[in-house]
Chains A and B, each alone.
Chain A
Amino acid sequence: DTAVSQTPKYLVTQMGNDKSIKCEQNLGHDTMYWYKQDSKKFLKIMFSYNNKELIINETVPNRFSPKSPDKAHLNLHINSLELGDSAVYFCASSQVQGSRGAFFGQGTRLTVV
């Protein structure tokens, strides 16, 4: 069974479109995250949710809006996509406070053309 699953794996879309990425974890974790990995493989946190509540918003443009319907799901909606949004987006989860590490999904490669 996949612990952290996100869909879709690949997303190609035109500038200006709106798109969503879905994420689900079956590990029973309380905390979920969205990370962005750039072309140099650097991973940067975007958002963190604990029990459906937003606890970290790392100066991400307002076009990015996360939503957590329950603690097992954290979706990412992106409005008015720009070329610079092209990257790989990873969902992750961890136990409360995360001191034991995080478990990542397979990633969604977003390409904006």
Chain B
Amino acid sequence: TQLLEQSPQFLSIQEGENLTVYCNSSSVFSSLQWYRQEPGEGPVLLVTVVTGGEVKKLKRLTFQFGDARKDSSLHITAAQPGDTGLYLCAGHNFNKFYFGSGTKLNVKP
């Protein structure tokens, strides 16, 4: 059973636009991670959030963990073509990472 739903599934935007990707669940997680995966490569860890309400920034990327530790969002400011890729959220509980369905982002120059 898939525990994490991501939206949107696909996103195609112009360079310079802002966007937000959502990761929702009915389960509480001890921590949540965001990864980016490029074709032919493995997922690369971007960030881990642990505390409810926590906000982390990584250059133009802002990650937030929901207060109840059930959901998260990823906001990208002024997207660039280099941001293109598959974004995956993953919740961690009981020695497992439960992955979301993924958001495929395409940033056009």
Known contacts A41-B102, A42-B102; is-contact A101 B95 (Cβ 8 Å) = no
Is B88 within 8 A of A101, CB to CB? no
Segment 40-96 of A: residues with Cβ below 8 Å from B: 40-45, 48, 50, 55-56, 58, 90, 92
The interface on chain A, measured as residues whose beta carbon lies within 8 A of the other chain's beta carbons, has a size of: 28
Is B86 within 8 A of A101, CB to CB? no
The reply to whether the CB of A39 lies closer than 8 angstroms to some CB of chain B is no
Is A106 within 8 A of B42, CB to CB? yes
The reply to whether the CB of B28 lies closer than 8 angstroms to some CB of chain A is no
In the complex, number of A-B residue pairs with CB atoms less than 8 Å apart: 69
Main SS at interface, chain B: strand
- Contact residues in A for B86 (Cβ distance below 8 Å): 41
- Contact residues in A for B11 (Cβ distance below 8 Å): none
Residues on A facing B (Cβ under 8 Å): 4, 31, 33, 35, 40-45, 48, 50, 55-56, 58, 90, 92, 97-107
The 7 closest A-B pairs by CB, nearest first: A104-B42, A43-B99, A101-B33, A101-B45, A99-B31, A101-B48, A41-B102
